[in-house]
Amino acid sequence: MSIFKKILLIVLIIAFVQCSNDDKYLIAKNQVGYLTNETTLNVIGDLYQDDSLVNLNIDTTQTVLANSNRELIVYARGGQKMLEIVPEDGNDENSKIRSVQIFDKNFHTDKGISLKSTFKDINENYMVNKVETTLTSAT
């Protein structure tokens, strides 16, 4: 193999690793990290195989719906909480994701908006139509 081919191969490997690492924390339309609006429950374990995935039931009663509100929590290798994932139907492994809540400050948009950003930062970079508040957060 010529030296040129070896250098080209090394550059391609570095570029691939950089791009795939950036995707882990990218927030875009219909995407949070590796998760998209088409991601199903049965692949989340594969997507976060280097992290810890914990299954929780929000509703602990012994009803038929006990698992339908199943919540998945992703912890990074160091133990910090990254994401909470709620599926549309916790009983169906082919169910898509209903919502994702972000806890890791590494997640960011292409404009640099993250959990560290202020409302001013968000308002300067995106059009804000409405703010919905809860006791602990704003959406």
C-beta of residue 104 within 8 angstroms of C-beta of residue 76: yes
pLDDT of residue 80: 93
pLDDT of residue 65: 44
pLDDT of residue 60: 46
The pLDDT tens digits along the chain (139 residues) read 555 444 544 544 444 444 445 588 999 999 999 999 899 888 988 888 888 888 876 554 444 444 455 788 999 988 999 999 988 887 888 889 988 999 999 999 999 999 999 989 998 998 888 888 887 776 6
Whose tokens are 């691939």? That residue is 16
CB neighbours of 1 closer than 8 A, spacing ≥ 6?
none
pLDDT of residue 35: 92
pTM above 0.95, yes or no: no
